Structure 1
Amino acid sequence: MKTTTFGVDLAKRVFQIHWVDMETGEVGRLKLKRVQVRPFFANRAPAIVALEACGSAHYWARQLVALGHEVRLIAPHFVRPFVKRNKTDAADAQAIWEAAQRPEMRFVAVKSEAQQSVLTLHRVREQLMKMRQMQINQMHGLLYEFGAGVPAGRRSMADAARALTELADTLPAMVIETLREQLQRIEALTHDMAAIERRLALWRRENEAARRLMAIPGVGLLSATAAIATIGEASTFHSGREFAAFLGLVPRQSGTGGRVKLLGISKRGDVYLRTLLIHGARSVLTHDKHLSKALQCLLARRPFNVAVVALANKMARTIWALLAHGRTYQSGYVAHAA
């Protein structure tokens, strides 16, 4: 007996389900409220449930796996080509069902609750960092309007405080007080970010894989914890190159007539983790005084930023190898053919 495949279009309140009966060939379409979804699948035999990897997809995937079903998460841009008509919930559910039938379709690994929790900390910290940068830029611009040139960067906030003291006699008191409140907001945002980093450090102490990843040059607390939470299951990727492609660290290809041209990096996939790896690679090439001969040769013949991305690609492949095979980092390791 063949296993039934369900295509589910997720939503906040109303879910659309599409399936085909394996015995009769009858097409089934059903609209369910949120509270009806779990009882519906609890009363079904173990089946394949395809979901679009969007908001709440990992939560519902864990719920359905607990009921004995096999869950397949599909990236939204892989589902879109299968929508045959106007975009509706029913059309989306059918497109998800059809995409799940493709033999070469790639699926997203289901994240655990712990991995989603770590990603939540990273998302909040990223937003706080953007807000802090906005506040700092505004502070620089406002002080510049009154003739106070403060160096760029957040480390110059001490200079901004001194500039405010110097301008206290020439500016209205309401302006001085408002700018001082701005400085306090910047300090509060920095304090909140530090608190999140301490929580990530506590999680890293309990996670053996994160400690192994931090042995890689250029991989710190943020990169290690974000990599583990983003990958989910390392076995989802067949190789380190596939993981690097998932992060957008491989060249785009454009070809016709059997001739393929390599362009710049694709920049697809997870922007946050790719940014962390590139910053880590830049730090290694800038501050490490004992670079390997291969990196020295790369820097001698290619531009600096190209070498940075190449090292970030290598770091991504190393991260996958350590997680997929349960190994520890070895400096100077050389892979051998099987």
Structure 2
Amino acid sequence: MVQSKGINFNGQNIYIGIDVHLKSWSVTIITESNYKKTHSQKSSAKELFEYLKKHYPGGKYKAVYESGFSGYSTYYSLKEYGIDCIIIHAADVPTTQYENVMKTDAIDSEKLAKSLKSGILKGIYIREKESLDDRNLIRLRKTLQRQLAGYKSRVKHLLYNNGVEYPACFDKPSLHWSKRFTLWLRNDVTLLSSTRYSLDLLLDQVTLFRKNLLKANRMVRELASRSKYAERYENLISIPGVGTVTAMSLLTEVDDINRFQNQREFASFLGLIPSCHSSGETICNMEKTFRGNKQLGPLIIESAWVAIRYDKALAIAYSEYCRQMKGQEAIIRIARKLSNRILSVLKSGKKYQYDRCR
């Protein structure tokens, strides 16, 4: 037995695949001699370390798990106990047909351990603990903005359902949700029923989310002024189309720009390269890949729409592309050019200079 007295694994790599769940882990351990053991345990790095120390003393522990709900917390917990660890994207784990058909936690953890031992896994970028809350703040601001828009739409839908007509002074959508518009909703609107509980509750939600969004905006501006981000932030907003939210999203999502070796790697991270299917002499470039940062890709495309209004070179390029394709397809190519500028600015540490349209 491995746990026999005197047995040790000094200098040997011990490969550990972990299928992470909220309350339990399925763990497969493989030694360099291909001895394999799978067990289930409580979701605890300490418990795993005690097990390894007892059954595989002296080994160099190397673990892997798939990115998911636990984020980086499992990684940092394992590192505290001296267990080297990588996190991988689930789609990057080689999977056989059998493993697809017979999917269990034990099979998943074994698949991870085998792939780790073979050296074919490439871990995702690991962020420093101190930068996690900065990124979460920017993401939460976007969530608040989306939820606020949802409640505003619900209010308008309720008005339509009840046949409420807007006064002439609110004919233009740009005047909606002004202080005057809100007072009209609060004081003058009547619904088909004699009560208006639903409208008042929705307006309370709009007020709450507006308050929280304003607070988040202040926090983002404060974050941008900190020494950690200030210089890079100023450089980024010198690029046409890049505003405060896009700049801070880039800084908090990218973290270390030096992890990207070239423009294609950076564009791939943003999700701005096309997927490709080729066979023999047939090569087919399709829509932009689904792989990429879901936060940044849409922001860069929005920035591209703004950039073509102010930057001569991008405006000319967009016009040329529109002769060959639809505007929605052309703007993706402009976004790719914009991503190259962003990479250049972040790498050089200098502001961007460009020819203005006006």
Q: Which TM-score band applies after superposition, normalised by the shorter structure?
A: 0.7 to 0.9
Q: CA deviation at 1:93?
A: 0.9
Residue of 270, 289, 297 corresponding to 1:274? 297
Conservation of the 8 A alpha-carbon contact between 1:53 and 1:73: yes
Distance 1:40 1:257 in 2: 51
Distance 1:30 1:295 in 2: 60
Give the number of the structure whose alpha-carbon radius of gyration is greater. Answer: 2
Residues 7-86 of structure 1: pairs in structure 2 closer than 5 A: 7-22=17-32, 24-35=33-44, 36-40=47-51, 45-79=59-93, 81-82=95-96, 84=99, 86=102
CA pair 293-219 structure 1, distance change in 2 beyond 3 A: closer
Percent pairwise identity: 17
Q: Secondary structure at the match of 1:331?
A: coil
Return the letter of the residue paired with 1:174: T
Residue segments in structure 1 that go unaligned for 5+ positions in a row: 334-338
Residue of 338, 347, 358 corresponding to 1:315? 338
Residue of 120, 126, 132 corresponding to 2:148? 132
CA pair 231-2 structure 1, distance change in 2 beyond 3 A: farther
Residue of 174, 179, 185 corresponding to 2:199? 179
Structure 1 stretch displaced more, 97-106 or 71-80: 97-106
Distance 1:108 1:284 in 2: 31
CA pair 233-9 structure 1, distance change in 2 beyond 3 A: farther
Q: Match for residue 5 of structure 2?
A: none
Residues 258-337 of structure 1: pairs in structure 2 closer than 5 A: 258-286=281-309, 288=310, 291-302=311-322, 303-323=326-346, 325=347, 327-331=349-353
Q: Match for residue 165 of structure 2?
A: 148
Residue segments in structure 2 that go unaligned for 5+ positions in a row: 1-10
Confirm or deny that 1:216 pairs with 2:227: no
Distance 2:300 2:86 in 1: 28
Conservation of the 8 A alpha-carbon contact between 2:236 and 2:351: yes
Q: Match for residue 6 of structure 1?
A: 16
Distance 1:2 1:319 in 2: 44
Q: CA deviation at 1:151?
A: 5.8
Show CA shifts across 1:280-318 (max 9, x none): 2212224x2xx2335313324424333432232233334
Q: Match for residue 336 of structure 1?
A: none
Distance 1:66 1:234 in 2: 26
Conservation of the 8 A alpha-carbon contact between 1:205 and 1:211: no
Q: Secondary structure at the match of 2:25?
A: strand
How many residues are matched?
326
Distance 2:66 2:328 in 1: 35
CA pair 270-155 structure 1, distance change in 2 beyond 3 A: farther
For the aligned residue pairs, the C-alpha RMSD in angstroms reads 3.1
Q: Match for residue 243 of structure 1?
A: 266
Show CA shifts across 1:80-130 (max 9, x none): 625725222111111222333455543211122233212322333233223
Q: Match for residue 112 of structure 1?
A: 128
Structure 2 length-normalised TM:
0.78
Distance 2:171 2:42 in 1: 56
Structure 1 stretch displaced more, 139-148 or 65-74: 65-74
Distance 2:142 2:175 in 1: 18
Q: CA deviation at 1:188?
A: 1.8
Return the letter of the residue paired with 1:196: A
Distance 1:154 1:19 in 2: 61
CA pair 210-163 structure 1, distance change in 2 beyond 3 A: closer
CA pair 131-301 structure 1, distance change in 2 beyond 3 A: closer
